[in-house]
Amino acid sequence: MWTSALAPLHRHAAYRRRLCVECQQVPPAAGMPRCYPCHAAYTGTRLTPSQAHAARIRAMTGPRPSVEVRALAYYLERFIAVVSEARV
């Protein structure tokens, strides 16, 4: 049986605050109580490219970013990906 290191009260509080119930640092993925990296670790699966992209955006912006900050993180992440591909 899987158990969390956090007490149930803390997990519920994180859920009510719209944070991932595992890491409690970023918003959860749509329709899930966990962010994509925590969900992948919980289920033992690998992230799809779009899930990895969304996870990097959430990691850059924090729990509750404004629309402008999220847009800036989106373009910054795309720029980093282009630069990384150019180095290969």
What pLDDT band is residue 5 in, cutting at 50, 70 and 90? low
**Mean pLDDT computed over every residue of the chain:** 80
In a domain? residue 45: yes
Question: pTM of the full predicted structure?
Answer: 0.59
Model confidence pLDDT, tens digit, residues 48-76:
888 888 888 888 887 677 888 888 888 88
In a domain? residue 1: no
In a domain? residue 65: yes
φ, ψ for residue 21 (rounded to 5)? -75, -15
In a domain? residue 3: no
- Domain around 20: 8-87
What pLDDT band is residue 33 in, cutting at 50, 70 and 90? very high
Cα separation values, 68 from 25, 31, 52, 73, 74, Å: 20, 24, 21, 9, 10
φ, ψ for residue 28 (rounded to 5)? -75, 165
In the chain, how many domains are there? 1
